[in-house]
Chains A and B, each alone.
Chain A
Amino acid sequence: MATPATTLASKLPPRLLSFFARYPPQLYSAAVTPKSEPQSSTKSTTTPLPETSSAIDPSTGESTLPSPYTPNRDAGGHKRPDPSAFSPSKAILATTAEHPNPFLPRKNFRTGKWIGPRVGLRVQAELVKLAAKYDIEELLPAGRKSTEFKETRRAERGLAIKGTGVGQKVKGHKWERTMETRLDDRRKAMMEMPEAIRLWKQRGHGRGWKKWPKR
């Protein structure tokens, strides 16, 4: 009798199977790894305020989302966000001492040196894509390539493109902005065209015409 887990495992590609054999989901997956504190709402949808930094104030617990505009480095007052500050996306990238996350770099506290992740970013991305295809992404360890991390960071930072934030519009070209009204005018004019032609013919092909357009 096959359990759901074994039937699932029989469907998975060997690459994922060998990864799970090396890093069993019950020890390494994002679901069992506790996220770092403090826990705040990871998917905040509040409107980004223009003049706030990306840092989150842990005392108030409010996430002050950054502007979707690319910050101008020359402008006075622009500060780089504090790299040590807590953020929801960083909370996702959690690791435990006994089972170090293979997707994250580690610091050797004795020598003070950093050790790169056991699985590189390129392979991580491939594994995440493969796992997403089989709908088992949550069995992988938490990493920078996971959908959850990317979505959270997108919510935090917004797109670095002007006008794509919540409640903003892309300005676009003038012809794009005015297209709707122009097409409306044209549609209206074409609806009235047979009547206008009839009137024009009735008034001696323009002899009695009063409403000449202005240039």
Chain B
Amino acid sequence: MAKKSKSRTVAVRLISMAMTGYFRTMIRPRTHRPLSMLKYDPVVKKQVLFLEATKGGRNK
């Protein structure tokens, strides 16, 4: 029996680099490079760097 195919997209978690524990969840294509962006963190009330959290450190 054929293996169930993986979905084209994945849901990823972008963690605030201000170490506040705040995060945003986004959907990106599975083959895309990891997401990173400047976004507003309501805890520190500033725009800070958000980086995608790796699941087991498998990001390129």
In whole angstroms, what is the CA distance A170 to B55 when docked? 38
Q: B54 near A: Cβ within 8 Å?
A: yes
> Are B53 and A215 in contact, with the CB atoms below 8 A?
yes
Q: Contacts A189-B17, A190-B44, A193-B17 hold; do A215 and B49 have CB atoms under 8 A apart?
A: no
Interface stretch of the complex, out of A28-36, A79-87, A204-212: A204-212
Q: Tell me if B's interface is mostly helix, strand, loop or mixed.
A: loop
Q: Is the CB of A200 within 8 A of B18?
A: no
- In whole angstroms, what is the CA distance A86 to B17 when docked? 63
**Does more than half of chain A's interface fall in helix, strand or loop, or is it mixed?**
helix
A196 B49 Cβ-Cβ under 8 A: yes
Interface residue? A177 (CB, 8 A): no
B48 CB contact (under 8 Å) in A182, A193, A205: A193
Contact between B35 and A206 (Cβ–Cβ < 8 Å)?
Answer: yes
How many Cβ-Cβ contacts under 8 Å join chain A to chain B?
59
How close is B52's CB to chain A, nearest CB, in angstroms?
Answer: 6
- A161 contacts which chain B residues (CB < 8 A)? none
A185-B19, A186-B44, A200-B36 given as contacts; is B51 within 8 A of A209 (CB)?
Answer: yes
Instruction: Tell whether, in the assembled complex, residue B55 and residue A215 are in contact, meaning their CB atoms are under 8 Å apart.
Output: yes
Q: How many residues of B contact A (CB 8 A)?
A: 24
Interchain CB contact under 8 A, A215 and B19: no
Q: Are B36 and A190 in contact (CB under 8 A)?
A: no
Q: Least Cβ distance of B54 to chain A in Å? A: 5
Identity of the chain A residue whose Cβ is nearest the Cβ of B54 in the assembled complex: A212
A193-B49, A206-B35 given; A215·B18 CB < 8 A? no
A residues bordering B, Cβ < 8 Å? 182, 185-186, 188-190, 193, 196-197, 200, 205-207, 209, 212-215
Knowing that A197-B38, A215-B13 touch, tell me 11 more A-B residue pairs with CB under 8 angstroms.
A185-B19, A190-B44, A190-B46, A196-B49, A205-B36, A206-B34, A212-B53, A212-B54, A213-B53, A214-B53, A215-B55
Measuring CB to CB, which residues of chain B are less than 8 angstroms from any residue of chain A? 13, 15, 17-20, 33-38, 43-44, 46, 48-49, 51-55, 57, 59
Name 16 A/B residue pairs within 8 A (Cβ), A-sorted.
A182-B19, A185-B19, A186-B18, A186-B19, A186-B20, A193-B46, A197-B38, A197-B48, A200-B36, A206-B36, A206-B37, A206-B51, A212-B52, A212-B53, A213-B15, A213-B54
